[in-house]
Amino acid sequence: MTHDADSPHILSEQASDRGDTGDGSDTGETEGTAGAADADGFRAFWADVVADEVEARDPDEPIVIKGGVSPSGVAHLGNFNEIIRGYFVAEVLRERGYEVRQVFTSDDKDPLRKIPRKLANADGEIVGLGEVDAGALGRNLGKPYTAIPDPFGERESYAAHFAALLQADADRLDVPIEMVSNTELYATGAFDDAVRTVLSDLEGVRDVLSTYQDKVDDEYVPFNPVCAECGKITETVTGIDLDAETVEYRCTDMDVGDNTIEGCGHEGTATFREGKLPWRLEWPAQWDVLDVDFEPFGKDHAEGSWPSGVDLARNVFGIEPPVPMVYEWFTLGGEALSSSAGNVVTVPELLEVLEPEVVRYFFALHPKKARDLDIERIDQLVDRFDRFERAYFGEVDDPELTRFAERAYPFVVAGHRSDASGTASRPVDEVREGIVRLPYTFAAVLGMVDDPAFREQLARDEGHITDDTPEWAVEAALKRVEKARAWAERTDNEYNYRVQTDLPDVAFDDDMTAALDDLAEFVAEGHDGEAIQGEMYETAREHGIEVADFFAAGYRLFFDETQGPRLGEFLGELEREYVVARLRREA
């Protein structure tokens, strides 16, 4: 069976063709599970493919799904990738009856290596350093994120501020995660055994690491103490006492690109809990400490850190790595996400213009296909979601899309069925029939109108809302208007205008009033927007009026502006009686 790789609803690969999982094992196909594959082994939803791989390993419960991030800057949508990818797999496994923990590690014992150009406040709004205590960052370069004051002065540390942003984003999208602090794991001794394992076999660790890192030599010790004098992370270990579980160190300089973070030169002793493993070792150590069964990650890790993690897991820690899933990055407006360049969007920003289910739909699409999230054309994403939703209810003649929708839609719209501990709270198929989705650009047109009752009337006039539409569906449908309005304002597009509730105080000469009256007659006959647009040109010529002046008069009547959207098409969207009355200067 072949499938269109360019389809906006690209389906998962055949389970029987999954091949190598990236860790050297071939899992084959698991039969008899929920969301069962077709006879040819094809699954409509990629999360089922991953769940098959996890289930084939016969994991202990709770099954642990992990993601992680170093809290280095703005918590943007790209950071949310691992959370939402893991969520779909977690929900499929819960549907199959498993207890699942979805954890997300904040790698907050990492040192702050450079000052970010932008930060996000507690509401997820991006701000510049001029709006915070930037000195709290500058004075603490080289220190763990948990040892750096919150530049907003609200939480106990910079790390806690960042973790709270990610937790809030997960809550906004109804995804249950359990935030885990690396600093706390070290402090409680969870990493003690991992550190002992690494430091007791330096030759073996160096042998593995040297394949992946040039800086590994016979003097390299993979442990980074926190200096007791200045609080910075140092990379120079001078002695190891495995019985006492301590290391001797000297606080030396840390090179960060072309810059250097100066050490204080202090010589001291640190326990295993007063330092950290380098990240290449810390990642597989997390798999061991947290009993991780599945972890998605971006393609940047696929060629370097994942192979080294697999090697270290097996040959240093003596464990099997979790089931991996490499996902493609998405671009934003055709450009790579970049906090430093300012090309980011946060979850709160996106939820200003999209319903949560549309955001979840974006991430439910196949993760191995690169995609662009273009805020300027966000209406196209909404249109695809609406079609996906209609396919679930059997209203689209597209078998592949329908099969995908039948499987994935409940996970996209229903939100989570359980808390972070994996306790089920409701069935996955909690979806509501009768939901009404106003076309996004039509909702943007309604956003030009302030009066809620008038918005509803216009939606009724266009047939989107009927007398049989339940009140909850009417209310839900009209919520999209505010989203579309926010989109128009953010992008300053053709819908960023406001229809005047009252007739503007304008006066026209006799030729213009006659032309407006003739146009009113044409509209009253019931023509559509395209016909009205063409008629405006004819009417202007018939009355000897400049076309631009005639359009300007129309804009003045409806917007009290001299320009606006394609006027005839816009008028075709409005209530006919209202348009006729306004053209006649009556209301």
- What is the spatial distance between Cα 100 and Cα 292, in angstroms, rounded to a whole number? 11
pLDDT band, very low/low/confident/very high, at 354 (cuts 50, 70, 90): very high
Identify the pLDDT of residue 341: 67
What would you measure as the largest C-alpha separation in the chain, in angstroms? 100
8-33 average pLDDT score:
34
Look at strands 237-241 and 246-250 and give their pairing.
antiparallel
Q: Which residues contact 356 (CB under 8 A, 6 or more apart)?
A: 172, 173, 174, 415
The three-class DSSP label of residue 297 is strand
Among 323, 299, 297, residue whose Cα is nearest residue 310: 323
pLDDT band, very low/low/confident/very high, at 215 (cuts 50, 70, 90): confident
464-493 average pLDDT score:
94
- What is the spatial distance between Cα 288 and Cα 265, in angstroms, rounded to a whole number? 34
As given in the structure block, the two tokens for residue 561 are 């502006």
The three-class DSSP label of residue 12 is coil
Query: Helix, strand, coil shares of the chain as percentages rounded to 5?
Result: 45, 15, 45
Chain length of the chain: 587
512-516 average pLDDT score:
96
Q: Is the pLDDT of residue 414 over 80?
A: no
**CA-based radius of gyration for the chain:** 29
- What is the spatial distance between Cα 288 and Cα 292, in angstroms, rounded to a whole number? 7
pLDDT band, very low/low/confident/very high, at 64 (cuts 50, 70, 90): very high
Among 61-70, 285-294, 421-430, 504-513, the range scoring the smallest mean pLDDT is 421-430
Residue 8: φ, ψ to 5° = -65, -15
Provide the CA 568 distance to its chain's centre, in angstroms: 38
pLDDT band, very low/low/confident/very high, at 340 (cuts 50, 70, 90): low
Rounded to the nearest integer, the mean pLDDT of the chain is: 87
As given in the structure block, the two tokens for residue 97 are 């009856």
- Asked if 88 contacts 51 with a C-beta cutoff of 8 angstroms, the reply is no
Q: Is the pLDDT of residue 3 over 60?
A: no
What are the DSSP calls for 233-252, one per residue? B---EEEEETTTTEEEEE--
Identify the pLDDT of residue 432: 76
Q: Is the pLDDT of residue 1 over 80?
A: no
pLDDT band, very low/low/confident/very high, at 106 (cuts 50, 70, 90): very high
- What is the spatial distance between Cα 177 and Cα 166, in angstroms, rounded to a whole number? 10
pLDDT band, very low/low/confident/very high, at 428 (cuts 50, 70, 90): very low
- What is the spatial distance between Cα 91 and Cα 88, in angstroms, rounded to a whole number? 5
User: Could you tell me what percent of the chain has a pLDDT over 70?
Assistant: 89
Identify the pLDDT of residue 63: 97
Say what angle helices 192-199 and 202-209 make with each other, to 10 degrees. 90
pLDDT band, very low/low/confident/very high, at 46 (cuts 50, 70, 90): very high
Identify the pLDDT of residue 126: 82
As given in the structure block, the two tokens for residue 464 are 């989107």
pLDDT band, very low/low/confident/very high, at 26 (cuts 50, 70, 90): very low
As given in the structure block, the two tokens for residue 239 are 């002695």
Identify the pLDDT of residue 21: 34
More confident residue, 177 or 27: 177
For 220-239, the pLDDT digits (tens) are 999 999 999 999 999 999 99
For 371-404, the pLDDT digits (tens) are 889 999 999 999 999 999 999 999 999 999 999 9
Cα three-residue angle 28-54-313, rounded to 5 degrees: 100
pLDDT band, very low/low/confident/very high, at 278 (cuts 50, 70, 90): very high
Among 30, 70, 26, residue whose Cα is nearest residue 339: 70
- Asked if 102 contacts 54 with a C-beta cutoff of 8 angstroms, the reply is no
Residue 276: φ, ψ to 5° = -155, 160
pLDDT band, very low/low/confident/very high, at 14 (cuts 50, 70, 90): very low
For 291-330, the pLDDT digits (tens) are 999 999 888 777 778 999 999 999 999 999 999 998 888 8
- What is the spatial distance between Cα 487 and Cα 583, in angstroms, rounded to a whole number? 29
As given in the structure block, the two tokens for residue 160 are 């806690």
- What is the spatial distance between Cα 238 and Cα 199, in angstroms, rounded to a whole number? 12
Q: Is the pLDDT of residue 29 over 60?
A: no
- What is the spatial distance between Cα 567 and Cα 143, in angstroms, rounded to a whole number? 59
Identify the pLDDT of residue 344: 81
Compute the Cα dihedral for 427, 432, 433, 439 and give only its sign.
negative
Compute the Cα dihedral for 463, 469, 473, 479 and give only its sign.
positive
- Asked if 282 contacts 66 with a C-beta cutoff of 8 angstroms, the reply is no
Identify the pLDDT of residue 393: 93
pLDDT band, very low/low/confident/very high, at 12 (cuts 50, 70, 90): very low
Q: Is the pLDDT of residue 92 over 90?
A: yes
449-458 average pLDDT score:
90
For 165-193, the pLDDT digits (tens) are 999 999 999 999 999 999 999 999 999 99
User: Could you tell me what percent of the chain has a pLDDT over 90?
Assistant: 66
- What is the spatial distance between Cα 365 and Cα 84, in angstroms, rounded to a whole number? 11
- What is the spatial distance between Cα 101 and Cα 65, in angstroms, rounded to a whole number? 6
The counts of H helices and E strands in the chain are 21, 16
pTM given for the model: 0.85
What are the DSSP calls for 190-232, one per residue? TTHHHHHHHHT-HHHHHHHHTTT-TT--TT----EEBPTTT--
